[in-house]
Amino acid sequence: MYTFIDLFSGVGGFRHAMEKRGMECVFSSDIDTKANEAYYANFKEKPKGDITEISEKKIPKHDILCAGFPCQSFSISGAQKGLDDNRGRLFYDIVRIADYHKPYILLLENVKNILTVDNGNVIKTIETKLDEIGYTVQKHVLNASYFGIPQSRERVYFVALRKEQKSDVKLSYHPPKQTMKKIYLDDILEKDVDKALFTNRKDIKIDSRTSKHELNPIRIGELGKGGQGERIYSQSGHAITLSAYGGGVGARTGLYLVGDRVRRLSINECKKLMGFPENWKVSEGMQGYQQLGNAVIPTMVGYVYDSIKIGK
């Protein structure tokens, strides 16, 4: 049985995927108190706190390091300070832990913008640092829409394999193939949702209606000035990217014409859009939406891990 650690663990997306594959989590860490409460509710284990204050020597030996390291400093919606931001510098905690324990595999996830922020210098630094501590890095932008998840969510997945491989473990990796599974937003919508999710504004404008299914969001209208959080999409397409901090009328989820009314998505619908079961525990209210918007999609982690060939 392979072991793994779960850094910046959130509500447990990486762990859900890895445990389904028979692996054992030997350490988890996150600084967010509410996320840690949700993690405990799901796994009966409370993650350790601030990873910057935890010595690598106190972390158990492991075969795989998993980390969806904080993305706010790389996100288009953030200040894009990259590795100069305190959250961006958390990448160096991954480096020090991997350098000390030398796990076979690093599985990392981040926003697409990490590839271009600071004129590409951030991604060059990341690849250089991982190379210096003994890893060959491959990275791929994968969109959940093309892997059976009805949410347009582009993320960069890093697979870093140890250069010095043991004679009994040989590793190789090729990116997963898109499944193009035909599943759409209307396949996961609930029939009865809280009335508070609906908007009754008088400035709703629907430009078109469509029943044609597509593996991407289909914008059909807007309200207000049509800014972020004011655009309306068809239930026949996919959801837009769930956001941890997006505001406006469609805060966190976007707005959708469901039947003949416009609404945000429920927390259970968002769980489905992130590949979590309905009984997955998150915090109440907008905090739960934020936790899901920050999470990794377990299904995507699974596809990436399953594309690593482990031989002898």
- pLDDT for 211 equals 84
All structural domains of the chain with their residue ranges: 3-179+295-311
- Quickly state the pLDDT bin for 77 (edges 50, 70, 90): very low
- pLDDT for 89 equals 81
Q: What percent of the chain has pLDDT over 90?
A: 81
- Quickly state the pLDDT bin for 75 (edges 50, 70, 90): very low
CA distance 121 to 75: 15
Q: What residues are labeled active site?
A: 71
CB neighbourhood size of 268 (10 A) = 17
What's the CATH code, domain 3-179+295-311?
A: 3.40.50.150
The tokens describing 239, both together, are 């959801």
CA distance 277 to 145: 18
pTM value is 0.91
Quick check: 10 and 32 in contact, CB under 8 A?
A: yes
Q: What is the pLDDT of residues 227-272, one digit of tens each?
A: 889 999 999 999 999 998 878 899 999 999 999 999 999 999 999 9
Return the amino acid letter for 59.
I
Q: Which of 86-90, 177-181, 211-215, 219-223 has the lowest mean pLDDT?
A: 86-90
Q: Can you spell out the DSSP letters for 193-239?
A: --GGGEE--TT-EE--------SS--EEEESTT--TT-EEEETTS-B
- pLDDT for 248 equals 87
